[in-house]
Homo-oligomer: A and B are copies of this chain.
């Protein structure tokens, strides 16, 4: 029963809030580009697609960074959220599995602009090893541990087939990595203290299908037997 360690004073920011901070940051960056100097919670909430009371409560967890009667200073808030999320430092990320998805991730502009530096691309397929992508040469997964250690990789993205994912996971956690973003459709087993976030492309589609079916039918077919009438 691992409970939250109280070492982080009482600055424990709710998970739901942390998950929304990147959203606010994106909206703020857009505003900064358009030259907006200050923004009210109402407007920012609208841009981020949330309720304004929720936005204010979220921001209040970081500190009191607004001015009553005025709003929030865009640049200042960008800095504070970035700092809280840890984006003011440079994170070395390795991507394991350089198929289409791995390439898409490597080319994704949203990483570099937020302090995530791709420090390694690795693949098990000799045909892919040696390819040059965004200025990086793909290395063989044999080099996994050495790449992690030499380049100070602290976050690993797993974009391999499902069958390889657990093995890659075991190796990178053994090498000291404690943050993993997993795209493979498997539940990874990890030691305590390791954070895994997962993105499963097909799960999202299945959730959409559920709602689409509801819209069409007003509920699923009520028959609870097998299609041919067998009861079990």
Cβ-based interface call for A167 (8 A): no
CB distance from A43 to the nearest CB of B (A): 13
Can you give 27 A-B contacts (C-beta < 8 A)?
A: A7-B218, A8-B214, A22-B200, A22-B206, A23-B187, A25-B206, A27-B187, A73-B232, A83-B220, A93-B205, A99-B104, A100-B101, A100-B107, A101-B101, A101-B108, A104-B104, A110-B200, A110-B201, A111-B201, A114-B202, A114-B205, A155-B205, A155-B212, A181-B205, A181-B208, A195-B211, A199-B204
**How many residues of A are in contact with the other chain, CB < 8 A?**
77
Residue pair A100, B104 in contact (C-beta under 8 Å):
yes
| Copies of this chain, tallied across the complex | 2
Which chain B residue lies CB-closest to A180? B208
Which chain B residue lies CB-closest to A156? B208
Not counting A80-B224, A199-B201, a sample of 12 additional A-B residue pairs whose C-beta atoms are within 8 angstroms of each other reads A22-B202, A22-B206, A22-B207, A83-B221, A86-B220, A87-B209, A105-B201, A108-B202, A114-B205, A179-B211, A181-B205, A195-B208
User: What per-residue 1/0 map shows which CB atoms of A45-62 lie under 8 Å from chain B?
Assistant: 001110000000000000
Cβ-based interface call for A140 (8 A): no
Residues on B with C-beta less than 8 A from A49 are: 187
Which chain B residue lies CB-closest to A30? B186
Residue pair B19, A203 in contact (C-beta under 8 Å):
yes
